[in-house]
Amino acid sequence: MVELDPQREQQLRSVGVISYVLHTVVAVGAVLPGVQASVLLLVVAVILDLVKRGEAAGTWQASHFSWRLRSVFWAGLLYLITAPLWLLLLPGWIAWGLISIWFLYRVVRGWIAMNDRQPMPT
């Protein structure tokens, strides 16, 4: 692992906090009925992670950038795959609810690990 100077590490942590906040707002909005956050917030978080991830290469924080990007990718893919279930209404609601809870879990798990300065599994 590459050791960063404290100022650089704090900058990457700040980016991580901003990204996790945006992910959390979207994840909570997806889980709670009537609290729909804008997909634009998730797009901003993904762009932020894509742009800044190279700066974290070789550090424990790099795993968090990958973790967040993988979480969005898999959630998006699962939403897409289960979208036809909405034709049956209840199965679609259940599937998307479970995906949303899984996404929120990933965001919370990552945020806790980042606060403990721990890398995420790859």
**What pLDDT does residue 34 have?**
67
* pTM of structure: 0.89
Q: ∠ CA(4), CA(17), CA(107), 5° rounding?
A: 115
Task: Tell me what the mean pLDDT of segment 103-120 comes to.
Answer: 96
Classify the C-alpha dihedral 63-71-43-50 as positive or negative.
Answer: positive
Task: Tell me what the mean pLDDT of segment 95-120 comes to.
Answer: 95
**What pLDDT does residue 35 have?**
64
**What pLDDT does residue 64 have?**
97
Greater confidence (3 vs 41) lies with 41
Greater confidence (35 vs 81) lies with 81
pLDDT (tens digit per residue) in 33-55? 666 677 888 999 999 999 999 99
**What pLDDT does residue 92 have?**
85
Domain boundaries, the chain: 6-115
Task: Tell me what the mean pLDDT of segment 4-23 comes to.
Answer: 91
Task: Tell me what the mean pLDDT of segment 95-108 comes to.
Answer: 94
